[in-house]
Amino acid sequence: MGNQKPSIPKGTRDFGPEEMAKRNYIFNTIKEVYALYGFQQIETPAMETLKTLMGKYGEEGDKLLFKVLNSGDYLSKVSDEELAERNCLRLASCLCEKGLRYDLTVPFARYVVMHRDELQLPFKRYQIQPVWRADRPQKGRYREFYQCDADVVGSDSLLNEVELMQIIDTVFQRLGIRVQIKINNRKILTGIAEVIGEADKIVDITVAIDKLDKIGLDNVNEELRNNGLSEEAIEKLQPIISLSGTNDEKLNVIADVLQSSEVGVKGVEETRFILDCLKTCDLKNEMQLDLTLARGLNYYTGAIFEVKALDTPMGSITGGGRYDNLTGIFGMPGLSGVGISFGADRIYDVLNTLDLYPKEAVTTTELLFINFGECETAYCLPLVTKARQAGIRTEMYPDKAKMKKQMSYANAKGIAFVALAGENEMAEGKLTLKNMKTGEQKLVSIDELIREVK
Amino acid sequence: MGNQKPSIPKGTRDFGPEEMAKRNYIFNTIKEVYALYGFQQIETPAMETLKTLMGKYGEEGDKLLFKVLNSGDYLSKVSDEELAERNCLRLASCLCEKGLRYDLTVPFARYVVMHRDELQLPFKRYQIQPVWRADRPQKGRYREFYQCDADVVGSDSLLNEVELMQIIDTVFQRLGIRVQIKINNRKILTGIAEVIGEADKIVDITVAIDKLDKIGLDNVNEELRNNGLSEEAIEKLQPIISLSGTNDEKLNVIADVLQSSEVGVKGVEETRFILDCLKTCDLKNEMQLDLTLARGLNYYTGAIFEVKALDTPMGSITGGGRYDNLTGIFGMPGLSGVGISFGADRIYDVLNTLDLYPKEAVTTTELLFINFGECETAYCLPLVTKARQAGIRTEMYPDKAKMKKQMSYANAKGIAFVALAGENEMAEGKLTLKNMKTGEQKLVSIDELIREVK
């Protein structure tokens, strides 16, 4: 290949040591909280059969799947005609049997169906793995990115919703990010549409209501009118548009408006139950009922969640909801579930912007032994071992390089302590320990050094 | 798609909760030890450009690369002639620009070259990610599997080799697996070939020597004769074939045989230095000089390592060595390195066979609150929160199911304690705590419960 200048595929990223340390801090925090709530981790293969993936993400999604060329003689089953036809989509299904996973939900559904006999229901699983989408790369959007999903399947209980809100609250509390947790319910939105007799206008209505603060009530009503809502419908919507106060006050207003809609009443009851339970759960972040929250409407059937950071503008950093019939497409009907997904890339950006990474999370090596040559390293080697046995992340600079170079290595890696042993130290059986922050130096035994560094 | 029966691509695996817990135990142990020695984690994308991957693994390797079909109109740049030609290899390079990584070494070399200006040398990196190979699937061989590599690049010092041996020793000590760490040196093998004048016979010689225990000296010599070695060469090899005793004794014999070979002498010196250093490092496992160790001969240029488990028959569970010119192929010559790779799948099997997983590593939920209905769960919810705040991995069964079902859930998940609160407990502001192992039950306050479970 010669002296090529290497690159990586567009939309993909390398993660260097500092980025990895920060990302691990996020992932580990999420994992620990998931485990605290009894969720168990699974992993599925990067490649799924195209049979599993195709038709699950709409027509657009099918196009965004990365397809993997069959290995070996991948042309053997393709006729001359099929080749000559040059139909990319049709030909792809001949050339490829596998694709890269597009999300974690479809592989999870496939997993549940394949392992139905081993699984204890309700099954609380979490999964943190990369997914791939052939989206047009743009700022903040990647072709490879991690999803961090938790779902409970096989239980209709709203206690699962309660628990997932607690998980969200705990994760962001541990990360030090102040958030607002928004909750809505698909059934409430359906109820609203029913009551005003405009079943297909849910999205228009939520979009218009969402603009209240910006454009004022008159303009919202005007927009609804332009969207084809009748004056009667707009009249009925007024209490909903001007909704304010506590969650309980809002729920009372909504309950009043929706009393004629069975599904609407159900949505109010569900939301009330979830919010009432959460009052006893010592949440650190605010729960807010927000009727304009309308994510995943062709997917979610009950509660809908979304999380926004309070101290920096950023889109949704976590979301989720309740869905029906996760596994029906794979021949196992009637299994509903509820899940959430943390947006690791956005959380990463929030932590960076607010400078919230704890120092321990990003420090790697704590102690560096300077290399003065063969005789000195022979003296140091057992001491290095002792420091490590005491749990101190320790390096010995491998080469007898100039002091300046070794010191700049320590600085570049953010190493807090440097140990030096020359003739004098060796004669006394000791070391000089330098605190890289204060510049302070002292002569110490290895035991003293360990106490000092720890 | 209808009611299809889902499957996963051959050679790939799902990892369920128990497998994941065990695998995480292995990966976390390796990560902690890598970090203890100052190695920093990086990650590279699953997809690399085929330019980066092709030609790096030999002709066979090129065939085993999974190639990813270009997205969009992937046929636009393919001529009718190229299509009609039906040359799979040639056509693939038109249809595909990307492939799945085949190992972690080539992506690492690519990473080092692309990030050369940010990197502080020596660069000690570790990387734990899956790789993909279109190998014929067979028992114990998968098309997707994790590699766990650590490498130091940009330092020729043998202290790096010493450190990597310490890492191996520490990892297996922590995992509780007794191992033998074998070491050899490519320069010694080259020296042997030089001395006997048979430079191209290294592999034949090591293979024959390896059979000494099984077939005896006469048959080894016969095999060497059949491989075309001269009587003089075989005569010179006798001390090497019958090599025994301590590592020092072996090195003395080899030094004697190789004194006329400059490279051979160098190999002996290197090995002696590494083994001498390790004597002062408090290793828990045995280092063994083994001249029959001949892995990666077209790759490694200095030390070669391999690890075998002592208490169960299993192939090599870890390996590595020193190599020159990692990045030359990407236009950055002169960068040598040394690395090791833990074989996670085999280590998994060893730990299973020897039943060495610590109980903590595989337990998930510690405490389950039984669900007796809405009133009781309302009573329990704040207590569940308290248990979690105390760090106890806690669940509340979400549905008001039959007691038997809830208990069998606890058993299936290996939950050690169950908490029950009915009318009596609620009246007293207490809980009944049941130890699932002993069957013992007692009435406790939430604070007593927390003390008991922790």
Domain CATH code at residue B401: 3.40.50.800
Q: Which of A96-100, A175-179, B233-237 has the lowest mean pLDDT?
A: B233-237
Classify residue B5: in a domain, yes or no: no
Whether A25 and A89 map to the same domain: the answer is no
Residue B228 contacts A where some CB pair is shorter than 8 Å: no
Residues B222 and B253 in one domain: yes
* Spatial CA neighbour of B41 closest among B54, B29, B32: B32
The C-alpha atoms of residue B394 and residue B383 are separated, in whole angstroms, by 10
Asked if the model's pLDDT at residue A2 lies above 80, the reply is no
pLDDT at position A203, please? 84
Chain mean pLDDT for chain B: 94
| Claim to verify: residue A235 and residue A322 sit in the same structural domain | yes
Q: Which residues pair with A215 in a beta bridge?
A: none
* Dist CA A273 CA A161 (whole Å): 10
In a domain, A303, yes or no: yes
> Counting runs of H as helices and runs of E as strands, what totals does chain A give?
19, 16
- In whole angstroms, give the CA distance from residue B416 to residue B401: 20
If you count residue pairs, one on A and one on B, with CB atoms under 8 Å apart, how many are there?
Answer: 306
Model pLDDT, residue B119: 93
The single-letter DSSP state of residue A331 is T
- Note the pLDDT of residue A438: 96
Strand ordering across the sheet containing A417-420: A394-396, A367-369, A417-420, A431-435, A441-444
DSSP B328: G
Are B57 and B191 within one domain?
no
Distances A389 to A279, A396, B417 between C-alpha atoms, Å: 47, 14, 35
pLDDT recorded at residue A296: 81
Which of A353, A383, A407 finishes a domain?
A: A353
Inform me whether the C-beta atom of residue B125 falls under 8 Å from chain A C-beta atoms. Answer: yes
- Domain housing B63: 47-99
pLDDT digits (tens, 9 = 90+) for B274-295: 999 999 999 999 999 999 998 8
Q: Name the domain count of chain A.
A: 3
Q: Which of residues 179-218 of B touch A (CB under 8 A)?
A: none
Does this complex have an ipTM over 0.90?
Answer: yes
DSSP state string for B268-309: HHHHHHHHHHHHTTT-SSEEEE-TT--TTTTTEEEEEEEEEE
Judgement on whether residues B76 and B108 belong to the same structural domain of the protein? no
Q: Is the pLDDT of residue A1 over 80?
A: no
Looking at residues B94-104, what average pLDDT do you find? 96
For residues B17-22, average pLDDT: 96
Q: What is the pLDDT of residue B1?
A: 43
Q: What is the pLDDT of residues B163-188, one digit of tens each?
A: 999 999 999 999 999 999 999 999 99
Residue A161: pLDDT above 90?
A: yes
Phi, psi for A295 (deg, rounded to 5) = -75, 150
Q: What is the mean pLDDT of residues A311-336?
A: 92
CB atoms within 10 A of CB A208: 25
- Give the residue-averaged pLDDT of B208-221: 89
Residue at B263 is within a domain: yes
Residue A295 has pLDDT above 90, yes or no: no
Strand order in the sheet with A144-153: A40-41, A123-132, A144-153, A337-342, A318-323, A300-309, A179-185, A286-289
pLDDT digits (tens, 9 = 90+) for B53-78: 999 998 889 999 999 999 989 998 89
The answer on pLDDT for A3 being more than 70 is: no
Q: Where are the alpha helices (DSSP H) in A37-158?
A: 50-53, 58-64, 80-85, 88-95, 105-114
Across the range A50-79, mean pLDDT stands at 92
Mean pLDDT computed over A394-405: 97
Report the pLDDT value the prediction gives residue B4, as an integer from 0 to 100.
63
Contact A290, A303 (CB under 8 A): no
Within-domain flag for A4: no
Q: What is the mean pLDDT of residues A384-410?
A: 97
Q: What is the 3-state secondary structure (H, E, C) of A355-404?
A: CCCCHHHHCCCCEEECCCCHHHHHHHHHHHHHHHHCCCCEEECCCCCCHH
Instruction: For residues B20-25, give the mean pLDDT.
Output: 97
Which of B334, B353, B372 marks a domain boundary? B353
> Looking at the structure, do residues A109 and A207 belong to the same domain, yes or no?
yes
Are residues B382 and A280, on separate chains, in Cβ contact within 8 Å? yes
- How far does the CA of residue A452 sit from the closest CA of chain B (Å)? 17
Q: Sorting pLDDT into bands at 50, 70 and 90, what band is A4?
A: low
A10 inside domain:
no
Q: What is the pLDDT of residues A221-247, one digit of tens each?
A: 999 999 999 999 999 999 998 899 999
B180 and B210 part of one domain: yes
Using the beta-carbon criterion (under 8 Å), do B48 and A120 form an inter-chain contact?
Answer: no
pLDDT value for B157: 97
Average pLDDT, integer, range A66-93? 91
Which H/E stretch holds residue A202? helix A202-210
Separation between Cα atoms, residue A412 and residue A417, nearest integer Å: 13
* A12 close to A143: Cβ distance less than 8 angstroms: yes
A40 touches chain B (CB under 8 A): yes
How distant, in Å, are the alpha carbons of A372, A412, A440 from that of A403?
A: 8, 14, 17
A2 within some domain:
no
Q: Minimal Cα distance from A83: which residue of B?
A: B83
What are the b/e assignments for B318-351, b being 16+ CB within 10 Å?
bbbbbbeebbebbebeebbbbbbbbbbbbbbbbb
CATH, residue A149: 3.30.930.10
* Nearest C-alpha neighbor of A382 from the set B286, B36, B279, B165: B279
**A13 contact B CB<8A:** yes
Name the residue with higher pLDDT: B178 or B141: B178
Mean pLDDT of chain A: 94
B385 plus B309 within the same structural domain: no
Per-residue model confidence (pLDDT) at position B3: 52
B375 touches A: beta carbon within 8 Å: no
Closest C-alpha among B326, B348, B280, B274 to residue B304: B274
Residue A444 lies in a domain: yes
Give yes or no for B98 touching A (CB within 8 A): yes
Query: B229 and B376 share a domain?
Result: no
pLDDT in tens, A334-355: 899 999 999 999 999 999 999 9
Q: Is A115 on the interface with B (CB under 8 A)?
A: yes
User: How many other C-beta atoms lie within 10 A of the C-beta of residue A175?
Assistant: 22
Residue in chain A lying closest to B276 (CA)? A378
Q: Is residue B173 within 8 angstroms of chain A, CB to CB?
A: no
- B95 with B213, same domain: the answer is no
> Are residues A215 and A319 both part of a single domain?
yes
What's the average model confidence in pLDDT over A414-439?
97
Distance from CA of B453 to the nearest CA of A (A): 14
Given B353, B377, B392, which residue is the final one in a domain? B353
Contact B16 A152 (CB under 8 A): no
The dihedral through the CA atoms of A312, A315, A317, A322 has a sign that is positive
Kindly state whether residue B210 falls inside one of the protein's structural domains.
yes
Considering only the beta carbons, identify the residue of B111, B120, B371 that sits closest to A413.
Answer: B120
d(CA A181, CA A429): 59
Does one domain contain both B370 and B430? Answer: yes
State how far residue B367 is from chain A, nearest Cα, in angstroms: 9
